[in-house]
Chain A
């Protein structure tokens, strides 16, 4: 019974330590690095990026002039830049600094662009993996904003809806009870347009901090896409004509002043489609190697290009397109003219990460970048065979030697062998566990 109880406590202790010790180590020595910021420079006509590094980079330090030597500015050819040169290579990003330095308007590809033109065209759409359904706790009770509130600012509605098998059901916040008349109005209107309840996905920008209300998109039970706008309390429904083979999975809505692109559709084949505001046409983007469940995606629009930046934990990829023409047909797919992949500095090894991979044969974690949900997961040391295992072997040997000198029972007894095996398999975690559990005779 003693052995059984000891095993139970040892398993628990090893699990707790495999979470706590690496976490404490990371807190003390291994500061997390943000993802690399990468752009397409219209001046250099290649990609240029900035990232924080661990350790020392002589060329970066020389460019930094003694200030923030851990921030590197480089282009895809490997050439280093200082901060001012980096900003000058990205006039569409740092246009306000450019204007202050008297470098605007700028002429690129035969177009002369001033601050107003850049501001008009610039926008960013972001689709992080953790925003996808199944990657965060569900929130099925949503607001539907009035698109014509009769004033400049948008108003937050006093009711919320949910899409169930029974229809679109509204609940009023004042009474916390269902609004049967409104529910009936919207449910009937949707059913008349062929909407099959319940919805698979609802996409919208549920905020009043935007220039106008662009409505919401709903994917029904059969995979059809519907656009719904609330205008003067009435539903305005539009069934979107989908290109052949497109089954929407997620819709990102982001209203902007230029009113050209309303958002983005991610389909079941991991393809991205821009939604044109004017006619709800879907224009495809051919982004190679994009895995939405593991990658964050960012679309950067500027007056000349559309840059799609996709990144997982270690790699960032830039795919650059000419800005899609307004007259493109729905279903057209844009092809990129430039792509660039780069291993981010956060994925590179440092002495701190190598030491961690030696000390800890495995670690238990809960947080993962691609999901807001917390799952326990064990990950093996990246250098288990070469670093962690020899270290565990050393610890097990030392423990056995110590036991032999103290009691004369090293590996001779089954208990000694079991203890050595525990340390061999779990390293420091097993050692600390035994130190705490070992009773004085």
Chain B
């Protein structure tokens, strides 16, 4: 069995305490809201309470008259209202979601900021908007964005007006769908839905922006998941050149895809206030503001139709996947590329026709949240697979074994899986170690109970590693040796809590051959290194670290050359151990320290650093058919969930989740396990409790009193199973894990609930009513 532990590395595949833990454990770590600079004042945003309205008049005179209030800015006071990425810094006169910013203020204290916000008078004229996917697609729906398009023959059409975000439309056309269905012995069609979900990182968005002649014009210290992406907002808001706008990432208190748009907008707004007041400005979102303006996981409506032969081979798959993009959006076009590529699951299906697109609605925008569409689509697909198995009377594991992608198979985009693919071994291992069939039998004895019933389910999935066809997966790293024999590593990718600093330290140590304790990771400062793209798509290790691997190997070669010169031998006769170079086979007598080597290089004028830029291989899909090589490789997951459902209350107790992942090469088992455990908890929330309820655009949860995610008492027993395989595409053979760790858990729990209750779950979360009835009573009347 390809379990972790058979690979031969000096520093990879080994436990290492996180390099940033000590500062976090002692409270020394400084996050953006902890930054304080001389002369600092505070900023705040006035947010609209309507989902769709015209601003008739704004009167800021009373706010401006308050002593200690230094600036009150509205659309007319700023160079541009709309950011480079669609989202508004300030409303252009029409507000399109609850929470849209209509004015910003800067004042001496946070109390005065509140006073000033209260003193601004705004007159609105409310409009009828669209709030749901169904409402946005209605024939006579109000068109809320000029760029929205309509449907023609059921598909997005550029020449029609409507609410579809055309750039987010991705079709997949593989084989002959009509032929596939005509040859099918069994056909089933089902619909599924998922809600808005909040990232719920514990750190709220924060920044301090200040004029900084050393940097050029301004420096921003920010809780930025992607500092270079944030720089785009900073430079854009004040219309300044990028090379004079500096963003420094502070320690980041969780992000999961969320600290992108709102942090960019907040930094942009703070910069506008800095330019207006000439004072450093701090902005920190309240939790309520964070809920209102940070991106949410896209709600999706799914419709799938599958055709199978009588022995259970899926030969035709048709689907429509529609995402709720919210009022403004610059994410759904990338997200839906991924959603389309994965629209037929982890299955080998010859004939596929799917259409994926997003619609604009008068809601908070949807964006990236751990999975980037995968938790939603895996939920829908895996419930569908189980419904098929039940209707056909075949075993649900057999159905998966019969159809799952294997080495040599073609994916939905007709990409041939050339690398080792261990899906069948993973299923077998998970079935055996969880005692799936024994428990299924045992739990079935509870299925007539009117009190508590138990259920078990297995789901399988895969995920393209890194950016793939979404956008070029390139990046650069700088590895610098210093005269005392220590090493600095620097890259454009960021530590967001996931453990990137630690993984990169291990990867750099592997390349150089030195120990990990002499390496220091420079935090991201946009003035110190080129942009390496965003720290997203679980790309940090698999693709982002390729340049770190290459740069550290190259630096190691340079250091060995100098060591060989000092040892009067050839470089290929020299190796390194415990930061000492030695002549191989010399019993450790001929040695020179790394410090001496570095010092010699400095004083002989030799290069002390290597910068490597790593470009991905050729990838891309045809936009009309979705066919082509979509990703460098794929991560595979098999997750088993066990639940107990209280049939009187609908309460779902998640008993155990066993989560198996093919990570290619496990860089650090501690951090891999941490990702898997955290992914289970986040997936449990997605499956059972988490939903940001929206009522005509109004968020009905804005803090953790009503938005419920698992506490230490709620989480299940957890089992992390780490598989490795032979796949050379990623850094040292590593594959993505951050998103895979959570993407199948909600699906597995929902399927286990369906097993326990006998009622299929077609909408998340499995709250009390849905668990018992398969539908929500409180949402019985659909709001259009």
- A and B associate in one complex: no
Binding site for A on B (CB under 8 A): none
